[in-house]
Structure formats: structure tokens, C-alpha cells
């Protein structure tokens, strides 16, 4: 049952509970198993991938072949192919705007400073086909890597019960520039990408979402390989006033839960009457919901309606929680936009459902955990780029700044650093 909460103390307690999932004891128990997997694959390679399991794939058929892709294309309706192509074009146009431009500045005394960007050699993309929106997750990882001109993009995805990766995953990956696809999931896949095995090449960057084992593996391997911010279940906040439609909000709620049953939806409203209407409408829609009892349990555990006295309080609650997504379905949303500080994606107005963000709104569904939104960001073009600073000082410029640099280096106890400056000034004629 979707609950309505009106008391401040209960509101704070429930939001804290939702924000703390998964629970610490669950994480600690999983960490031990994940560490064992990482160590085994690090030292045993392909053998470490398979020795404790009885699964359908083997080191000889992990890789998806050209014939597998051909079969996948035959199973995909043309309308779906066209839709993927349309969305890819729109997203590609958006990501091109993110591409940072190298720059060089020539300053006084022949000083040159600048910055340039080079793509990583190889990127690893993880996609769990049974979580969220796998097609959009592929697009929003592979397209930034493609725009960054990464030479090689590798995708890993867990096989289904037949040992195959679903055809829509294969087609979306191939259409958006993935070079190699492997049937592998969980912490094993992350470890294989990070360390490299006889079958799967080592990558420089790993992005993507998965279960708790994938989240923990990425955290543990950060430093061995670059990763995007570890991702857990997402949250959707909806700020609504009396102008909102309960049918729209109920649909938004169920849409979020069907993508991820561990996801949370919090409706914050100033209208108790609307809250009750939403509660009733969700109950009605659950009767015909395709995901049935799963959605009902998810809503009971992780979703609620919060009734507050003012829009200011609604904004404060939202900023404190820092959700991934926020829908402003209120009469004058732009009056509130500037007050929103810490959300991942902001959807404005009565006619902007989250689906627009997932597929066309460039909202980048690969998002950090709640709370980390305050300072972390999602997968973007720069995730796949290595910046380099360019600095050149002329003899005149170095001589002019030498006293300042010497004071700083000696004050910090670095006499050898002072020598690197003074020796160049003394021996300047050697460079003439």
C-alpha cells in the first residue's frame, strides 16, 4: 500500500530509511564474496571466471559472434531499429556539445599554457538487461565513448537462461559503435574488464549499472581501473500541487518501479486531497499492472506520499535527499527551478514524464547513488577522456617568477624544488 505521511518526524525517518538501502549488513556480507571473485580472476584469468560455476558459457564462446548479431537483427522489428536510430541521432547531437575543446593561451614573456584531451585506449561498458532501461543505458554509455573517439569499446552483459544475450541488447550495442560483446555478468565481468583475461581484454574505464555485486566490484577496483561513480538503485521525486493530475503521477510512479523494483518514488505535495487521489489511483492501476505483486511490494517498501505545508518545505526536503530525478508538476515550475540545488535530472512541467529523460531528454541514466548527486556526476563524454595540461615557460618568464617560486618551495620544505628553478637560471647560457 502506498502510504501518506504528514508528520515531520515520520517523514524524516522514512526518507532516511529509503536513502539507506541497501542495508549495511547486506553490503558487508556481499563484500567478502566479491573480493574472492576479484582475487580469483586477477590471478587465474579465464579459469577463475568459470571454475566454481556450472554455467552455459565457456571461454571459447564468451564472445558474441557476427552470426549472433545477424540472428539478433532478424528478431528485431524494423520499428524498433528505427526508434534506436532516431534516439541515437538526438543523443549523439547532445553529446557532441559536451566534447571539451583543447585550448592554448600565449601569455606575456613567451609563456604558453593550455589543455588538451586524449581518449582512453579501451572502454568497458556493463549492461544488465534485466534492470532499468537497457537500450537507453547502452546509448548513454556507448555514444559518449564514441564522441570521445575511444578506439575500442567493449560491452559485457549477463546471458539469459539460454546462455544468450537478448537480441535488443546486441542490436543496440552494434548500432552505437560497440566493437566487441561478451556474455558475462556480475562481479566476474567487472573483474575481467579491470584485470584482463585470456579472452577479455583489459580496459581503462568501466561504466554501467548492475546489482550490488557489480557496485561493490567497481568500488573495490577503482584505482586499478577508472570507473564511473558506483550506481545503486535510483530515486524519483515528484513535487506536485493542486494543478497536478493524479493519473499522471500514478503512472510516473509505476513506470519508475517497473524499471527497478528497488527504486524509490517520493511524491511531495502541498495538497492532501491530491495525495489521497494518487493513493487511490495507484491502487487501481496495480490491479492491472504487468509486474503485479513485484510492483506492489516495491511500492510498499520504497515509495510514499509526503504532505507538507508549503512549497518551500517541499524544496527543502528534496534538496536534503538529493534524488536522481525530480519532476516539477506544479502550476509555476520555473519559479521553483532556481531553488533546486541537488538533483541529477530536473523534469519541468505537467508534460515532461521521466520517459523523456530516459530516451530523449539526455538525462544520462547512468547516475551516482542518492546523496552523491551533491558532488558526483553521471557518465559523460569526459568520462572517456584523459586531460593533459600544457605549460611552457621562457627564460625571461622563469627568471621573473623565480623569487616567488623559491619562497613557496622553501616554505614548504622542498629545497630540491627550488634547485630545479635556480639551476636553470644559472645555466641558462647552456640552452642558447
Q: Could you tell me if 255 and 292 lie in one domain?
A: yes
Where residue 94 sits, what CATH number does that domain have?
Answer: 3.40.50.1980
Structural domain ending residue among the three candidates 231, 262, 297:
231
Statement to judge: residues 223 and 256 lie in one domain:
no
The answer on 330 and 291 residing in a single domain is yes
Residue 188: name the closest of 180, 197, 179 by CA.
Answer: 197
The predicted model gives 89-96 an average pLDDT of 88
Domain membership flag for residue 30: no
DSSP state of 342: S
In terms of domains, do 159 and 257 share one?
A: no
Residue 66's Cβ-count burial label (10 Å; 0-12, 13-18, 19+) is exposed
Q: Same domain for 210 and 272?
A: no
The reply to whether 33 falls in a domain is no
**Is 31 a member of any domain?**
no
Q: Which residues contact 276 (CB under 8 A, 6 or more apart)?
A: 4
**What residues contact 119, with CB distance under 8 A and at least 6 apart?**
145, 148, 149, 150, 151, 384, 385, 386
Co-location of 187 and 329 in the same domain:
no
Q: Is residue 369 part of a domain?
A: no
Q: What is the 3-state secondary structure (H, E, C) of 283-336?
A: HHHHCCCCCHHHHHHHHHHHEEEEECCCHHHHHHHHHHHCCCEEEEECCCCHHH
Residue 284 pLDDT > 50, yes or no?
Answer: yes
Segment 154-196, tens digit of pLDDT: 999 998 888 889 999 999 999 999 999 999 999 999 999 999 9
Q: Provide the number of structural domains found in the chain.
A: 3
pLDDT surpasses 60 at 58: no
Residues 221, 344 within the same domain: no
Q: Are 83 and 212 in the same domain?
A: yes
The predicted model scores a pTM of 0.74
- Residue 81 domain-assigned (yes or no): yes
Q: Are 270 and 175 within one domain?
A: no
Q: What does DSSP assign to residue 210? A: -
Question: Which structural domain range is residue 183 located in?
Answer: 50-108+119-231
In a shared domain, residues 302 and 410: no
159 & 264 share domain? no
Mean pLDDT of the chain: 85
Query: What is the per-residue pLDDT for 196?
Result: 95
Residue 27 lies in a domain: no
For residue range 392-415, what is the model confidence (pLDDT) as tens digits? 888 899 899 899 999 999 998 999
Amino acid at each position: 500500500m502506498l502510504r501518506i505521511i504528514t508528520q515531520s518526524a515520520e517523514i524524516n525517518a522514512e526518507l532516511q530509511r529509503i536513502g539507506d538501502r541497501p542495508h549495511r549488513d547486506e553490503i558487508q556480507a556481499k563484500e567478502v564474496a566479491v573480493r574472492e571473485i576479484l582475487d580469483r580472476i586477477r590471478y587465474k584469468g579465464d579459469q577463475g571466471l568459470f571454475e566454481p560455476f556450472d554455467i552455459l558459457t565457456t571461454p571459447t564462446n564468451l564472445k558474441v559472434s557476427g552470426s549472433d548479431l545477424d540472428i539478433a537483427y532478424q528478431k528485431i522489428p524494423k520499428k524498433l531499429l528505427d526508434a534506436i536510430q532516431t534516439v541515437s541521432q538526438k543523443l549523439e547531437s547532445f553529446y557532441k556539445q559536451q566534447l571539451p575543446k583543447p585550448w592554448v593561451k600565449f601569455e606575456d614573456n613567451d609563456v604558453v599554457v593550455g589543455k588538451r584531451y586524449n581518449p582512453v585506449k579501451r572502454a568497458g561498458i556493463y549492461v544488465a538487461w534485466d534492470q532499468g532501461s537497457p537500450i537507453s543505458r547502452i546509448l548513454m554509455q556507448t555514444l559518449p565513448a564514441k564522441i570521445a573517439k575511444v578506439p575500442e569499446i567493449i560491452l559485457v552483459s549477463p546471458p539469459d537462461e539460454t546462455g544468450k544475450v537478448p537480441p535488443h541488447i546486441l542490436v543496440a550495442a552494434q548500432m552505437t559503435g560497440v566493437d566487441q560483446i561478451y556474455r558475462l555478468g556480475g562481479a566476474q565481468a567487472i573483474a575481467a574488464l579491470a584485470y584482463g583475461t585470456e579472452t577479455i581484454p583489459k580496459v581503462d574505464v568501466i561504466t554501467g549499472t548492475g546489482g550490488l555485486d557489480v557496485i561493490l566490484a567497481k568500488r573495490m577496483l577503482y584505482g586499478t581501473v577508472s570507473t564511473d561513480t558506483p550506481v545503486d538503485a535510483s530515486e524519483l521525486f515528484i513535487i506536485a500541487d493542486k494543478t497536478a493530475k493524479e493519473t499522471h503521477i500514478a503512472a510516473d510512479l509505476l513506470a519508475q518501479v517497473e524499471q527497478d523494483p528497488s527504486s524509490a518514488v517520493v511524491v511531495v505535495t502541498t495538497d492532501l486531497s491530491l495525495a489521497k487521489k494518487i493513493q487511490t489511483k495507484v491502487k487501481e492501476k496495480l490491479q492491472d499492472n504487468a509486474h503485479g505483486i513485484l510492483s506492489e511490494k516495491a511500492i510498499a517498501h520504497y515509495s510514499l506520499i509526503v504532505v507538507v505545508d508549503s512549497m518551500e518545505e517541499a524544496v527543502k526536503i528534496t534538496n536534503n535527499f538529493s534524488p536522481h530525478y525530480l519532476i516539477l508538476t506544479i502550476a509555476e515550475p520555473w519559479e521553483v527551478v532556481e531553488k533546486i540545488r541537488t538533483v541529477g535530472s530536473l523534469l519541468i512541467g505537467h508534460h515532461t514524464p521521466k520517459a523523456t529523460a530516459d530516451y530523449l531528454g539526455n538525462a544520462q541514466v547512468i547516475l551516482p547513488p542518492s546523496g552523491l548527486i551533491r558532488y558526483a556526476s553521471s557518465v559523460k563524454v569526459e568520462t572517456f577522456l584523459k586531460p593533459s595540461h600544457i605549460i611552457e615557460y621562457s627564460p625571461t618568464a622563469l627568471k621573473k617568477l623565480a623569487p616567488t617560486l623559491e619562497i613557496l618551495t622553501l616554505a614548504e620544505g622542498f629545497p630540491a624544488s627550488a634547485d630545479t628553478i635556480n639551476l636553470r637560471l644559472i645555466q641558462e647560457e647552456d640552452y642558447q
